[in-house]
Amino acid sequence: MTRPTYAKAAVLTGKEQIEMMEFPIPTIGENDGLLHVESCGVCGLDSEGYMHGGNAVFKLPCIIGHEIVGYIDEIGAEAEKRWNVQKGDRVIVEEYIPCGHCDPCLTGNYHLCFDLRYGAMSIYNEKTALWGGFAEYMYLHPHSIIHKVSEEVPADLLTLFIPISNGVHWVQQVGNTTVGDTVVIQGPGPMGLGAVIGAKEAGAGTIIVTGLSKDAHRLEIAKEFGATHVLYADKHDLEKEVSRITNGKMANTVINAATTPIQFKVCLDLAGYHGTIVHSGTDHFLTDEVMSSKITWKLLTIKGVLGRPKKAVGVALKIIESGRYPLEKMITHEFDVSETLKAVNTHAKGLDGCIHVAVLNKETNKEGVKTWEKTIESV
């Protein structure tokens, strides 16, 4: 089958605005590659950019989408050696494009790179526009981070590599959870559910997940993933219940995967002495009420997290490929790439009980697709 010369992609053009456009497929050299996208999950960062018309990461207009699964369609000889993949291999692509020479990169923390670029970059400022995953094809930058994956696993399940790898990293490497520990996870969204798996894999003895009454279905999934207890923040006194469950010892590790600032204050209540709080949110939470003596008297350690290293992604992929967890229950919606607007809107607004939304690269309708007319040099 002959590859087309143009590829369709979903472009974020403004607040709650996504348009389908066509872009020329770039020429591939010795050090880069081209991915035929199979599927891409919708992440909270995509939804944030959609709801606000861009953010600190996504400069409009750009092609968003960074939970990417696909096949190597073309690859240069040097890139083939560096990534240890060949044309036709099935891979996932991390969202990071690190510089490779700053201190974080050289110490294995490329996700904290000083010059970090994400897969979705402005279509005005690059030689090629095909960066994000909500597209038929995507350009593979020489610094892209790629993992070869199984042919046997459904594509939508593979898009879960980010929430699961985040969960593994946040609970185990950042939260220092060990066998027999008590872990409390606030928020049963994709990241929270990924943290349940991370806690289960770490051998935690007690895994408590908190949510709201509207999260009942998600909390049931949390139990299937290994949660020993679920609590409803709008029905239960969380501090009292966690104390009861732990005989007053409270949690060794608290993962704050919730989105409301008040939940950080609750973390201080739920952590035990010498406990660790892992905070993944970006909300402003350092109020006088939060900065209480509990941090001092409990000798708490508070750690922020941003993404995850390559090692955690490898662990997550093995978990997904193992089939040990009913991960398909997290996939509540699937859309064609031509329906990316609907997909992102569903995720951003939490419509129809969505948990994880996957965009699949099926045959798309040519009607209504604009052609990007800006001249783009070959890479």
pLDDT value, residue 157: 97
Number of H helices, E strands in the chain: 12, 19
Q: What is the pLDDT of residues 185-200, one digit of tens each?
A: 999 999 999 999 999 9
3-state secondary structure of 217: helix
Q: What is the pLDDT of residue 290?
A: 56
Q: How far apart are CA 209 and CA 188, in angstroms?
A: 7
**Would the pLDDT of 367 be above 70?**
no
**In this predicted model, what pLDDT tens digit does every residue of 160-191 receive, in sequence order?**
999 999 999 999 999 999 999 999 999 999 99
Partner residues linked to 211 by β-bridges: 232
Name the residue with tokens 């409390």: 184
* Domain range summary for the chain, segments of one domain joined by +: 6-148+326-371, 163-304
Q: Considering only the top CATH level, what class is 6-148+326-371?
A: alpha beta
Choose which CATH entry (3.40.50.720, 3.10.129.10, 3.40.50.620, 3.20.20.70) describes domain 163-304. 3.40.50.720
The side-by-side arrangement of strands in the sheet containing 182-186 is 229-232, 206-211, 182-186, 251-256, 271-279, 301-304
Are the C-beta atoms of 140 and 33 separated by less than 8 Å? Answer: yes
Q: Mean pLDDT throughout 240-250?
A: 98
Q: What residues contact 42, with CB distance under 8 A and at least 6 apart?
A: 65, 67, 343, 344, 346, 347, 356, 357, 358, 359
For residue 118, the model assigns a pLDDT of: 83
CA distances (Å), 150 to each of 24, 89, 156, in order?
A: 30, 9, 13
Summarize the confidence of residues 83-90 as an average pLDDT.
96
pLDDT in tens, 114-157: 888 887 777 766 668 899 999 999 999 999 999 999 999 999 99
Q: Which residues contact 56 (CB under 8 A, 6 or more apart)?
A: none
Q: Do 6-148+326-371 and 163-304 have matching folds?
A: no
pLDDT-derived band at 377, boundaries 50, 70, 90: very low
Cα–Cα distance between 144 and 278 in angstroms, integer? 28
pLDDT score of 24: 93
Q: Is the pLDDT of residue 285 over 80?
A: no
